[in-house]
Amino acid sequence: MKKIIFGVDLGGTQIKLGKFDFDGLIDKYAIDTNISDEGSHIIPDIASFIKGNLKKDEELVGLSIGVPGPVACGVVLGAQNINWLKVDVEKEFHKFFPNIIVGVLNDANAALLGECYFGSGKGYKDLVMLTLGTGLGGGILIGGEVYEGATGSSGEVGHICLERNGRSCTCGLKGCLEQYVSATGIVRTAKEVLLNSKEESILRDKDLTSKLIFDSAKVGDKLAIEVTERVTDDLACGIASICNTINPEIVILGGGVSAAGSFLLKKVEEKFVNYAFYSLRFSTKFALAVLGNDAGIYGNYQNILGKIK
Ligand SMILES: [Zn+2]
């Protein structure tokens, strides 16, 4: 029998599933997430999909799932997007597959683990990953292990205070880093810059997106450059706070905003030295994430590999 591991990335609208053997990815799939009835269909849906996608000569030995909420000791402590309260994932999956190894990770931590073992973090044991999307997520790996924190809330780097009494954040606090460097934060900064200047700009009267802002800066638009300078300075300041605390070998930037690529990375790296403590100022490496949307399924695969070996 061929031993199979499933890596699952559970999102609010879609569930991504990766089927792996010990050599790597065999196939990947996506199914819709049914969040009705307190999300009680999610685990049975995943279990029946996996059962239907195992060949006669294949045996499921492990399954790990990444969820959009805090996780501690294998228990999900609530995930609003999928209507979960406290769910003991291992217990629930064992009802369908009694003899397999079950793992559960916070989704950002799963992406971190995937990127670390199969992406641009390969070979590093202490790293930080920031996911710059609509919000700003993060994950911390120490000594090759995901650091979850006492209540599963480590890596909430989006809510580092960048500016006291600054912009209101969805979390209820003020001045959170996320409000300045996420896709939404970048657009907000651009609006401020446009409002305070009379200078001509490609950005005027446009539907602003972080992509348009970075693209305009790349072709030399003066106001777009001002926005990207501010945003990358904010980001560098936030990253330095994290690095001054845990001193990672490498910082990986992922998520939609990181599509701005080396332009973004270079600016952040340059500005980082202005905020980082001297002993880590020039030793901290920076890289872009490479696995994109697959990072989660790879991270969950690694979670099981780590438990088997
Ligand atoms: Zn916040």
Q: Which two tokens stand for residue 137?
A: 């997520």
pLDDT (0 to 100) of residue 74: 83
Sorted by where each begins, the domain ranges of the chain are 2-106, 120-290
- Whether residue 127 contacts residue 116, with contact meaning beta carbons closer than 8 Å, is answered with yes
What is the predicted pLDDT for the residue at 15?
96
Q: Looking at domain 2-106, what is its CATH homologous superfamily?
A: ATPase, nucleotide binding domain (3.30.420.40)
Q: Which residues of the chain are under the pLDDT cut of 50?
A: none
CA 24 to ligand 1 center in whole angstroms: 37
Distance (angstroms) between ligand 1 centre and the Cα of 158 equals: 6
Q: Output the CA 156–ligand 1 centroid distance in Å.
A: 9
How many other CB atoms are found less than 10 A from the CB of residue 61?
19
- Name which CATH class applies to 120-290: alpha beta
Ligand 1 center–CA 238 separation, angstroms: 13
Q: Tell me the CA–centroid distance for residue 49 and ligand 1, in Å.
A: 36
**Structure tokens that stand for 268 in this block:** 């952040």
Cα separation, 180 vs 166, in Å, equals: 10
d(CA 27, CA 24): 9
State how far the Cα of 31 lies from the Cα of 50, in Å rounded to an integer.
11
Res 22: pLDDT: 97
157 Cα to the center of ligand 1, angstroms: 9
Are both 2-106 and 120-290 of the same fold? yes
Q: Characterize 240-263 residue by residue with b for buried, 16 or more Cβ atoms within 10 angstroms of its Cβ, and e for exposed.
A: bbbbeeebbbbbbbbbbbbebeee
* Ligand 1 midpoint to CA 136 (Å): 9
The rounded Å distance from CA 105 to ligand 1 centre is: 22
Rounded to the nearest angstrom, the distance between the alpha carbon of 132 and the centre of ligand 1 is 14
C-alpha 259 to ligand 1 mean position (Å): 23
Helix, strand, or coil here: 124? coil
Cα 159 to middle of ligand 1, angstroms: 4
Token pair 């009694």 in the structure block, residue: 98
Expressed in angstroms and rounded, the spacing between residue 200 Cα and the centre of ligand 1 is: 33
Q: How far is the CA of 153 from the centre of ligand 1 (A)?
A: 13
CA of 204 to the centre of ligand 1 (A): 29
